Amino acid sequence: MKFCSSCGAGVALRVPPGDNRQRFVCTACGEIHYQNPKLVTGCIPEWEDAVLLCRRAIEPRYGLWTLPAGFMENEESAQQGAIRETLEEANARVQVEQLYTTFNLPHISQVYLLFRGRLTNLDFSPGEESLEVALFREQEIPWDELAFPVIYETLKFYFQDRKQGVFLPRVGDIHWRSRELGKYSVSMLET
C-alpha cells in the first residue's frame, strides 16, 4: 500500500498507539489502514459417489482442477458465497449441507471454508473461469493435477470419510515450506 484511500496522501508503516504491530498509517490525515485475512468460500458439489471439479481457465494454476471456490463478497454469508461460486464457475446449483473443511493459510493470509453441497440436478457447464467441469469418482480424481494443496487435502479427507459414512468437520493449517507446490505441511486440530 502506498497511498491513503481516504485522502490520497502517502502512507507509512507505523505502530499506532495502543497497537502491537505495524499498520499503514496516513501521513496526512492519520487514517489507519488495517489489512486482515481474506475468506475464501467454496463447495464440494456431490452427486451420488462423485464430486464436481472445475478445470481452471485462469491463473494461477491454469489448466489444473479445483473445487468451485473464491473470495467472499461483502454482504453475503459464507454459504451464499459457496453457492454463488459454484454457479459462476460450473453453472451448477447446490444445496449446502455442511461446513466440511476450514483451512488456515497463514503464509498468504487466507482462510478457506469448504462446504459439502448436494447438486440439485446434472445441469452444469463451464463458467467463465473454467475450461471444463466434470464429475469424478474417487478413483477418477486427477490427484496429480489438482490446483492447490487445500483442494488436495480436502478431497483426501472427503473420500476417507465417505468410506466411514461419517463426514467430520475438519479444521487445519497448511504451512508452505517453499513456493514450489508439494513443499507444504499440514497440521489438523484434533477433534
- Contact between 119 and 92 under an 8 Å Cβ cutoff? The reply is yes
Of 22-30, 50-58, 136-144, 178-186: span binding Zn ion (CB under 5 A): 22-30
Q: Does 31 bind Zn ion (CB under 5 A)?
A: yes
Stretch that binds Zn ion, among 9-17, 106-114, 119-127, 128-136 (CB under 5 A): 9-17
94 within 8 A of 88, measured Cβ to Cβ:
no
Contact 14, 31 (CB under 8 A): no
| Residue of the chain from 24, 25, 26, 55 that contacts Zn ion (CB under 5 A) | 26
φ and ψ at residue 34, rounded to 5 degrees: -80, 135
Closer to Zn ion at the Cβ: 26 or 94?
26
Q: 112, 44 in Cβ contact below 8 A? A: no
32 binding Zn ion? (CB under 5 A): no
Q: Which is nearer to Zn ion, 25 or 78 (CB)?
A: 25
Encode 137-166 in three state secondary structure.
Answer: EHHHCCHHHECCHHHHHHHHHHHHHHHHCC
E strands along 48-169, which residues?
A: 50-56, 65-66, 69-71, 94-105, 110-119, 130-137
Which window, 28-36, 125-133, 156-164, 179-187, contacts Zn ion (CB under 5 A)? 28-36
Candidate residues 1, 3, 6, 98; the one interacting with Zn ion per rule CB under 5 A? 6
29 binds Zn ion (CB under 5 A): yes
Among 1, 3, 7, 22, binds Zn ion (CB under 5 A): 7
Interacting span for Zn ion (CB under 5 A) from 7-15, 64-72, 119-127, 131-139: 7-15
- Please state, in angstroms and rounded to a whole number, the distance separating the CA atoms of residues 106 and 92: 30
Assess 33 for contact with Zn ion (CB under 5 A).
no
Contact set with Zn ion (CB under 5 A): 4, 6-7, 9, 26, 28-29, 31
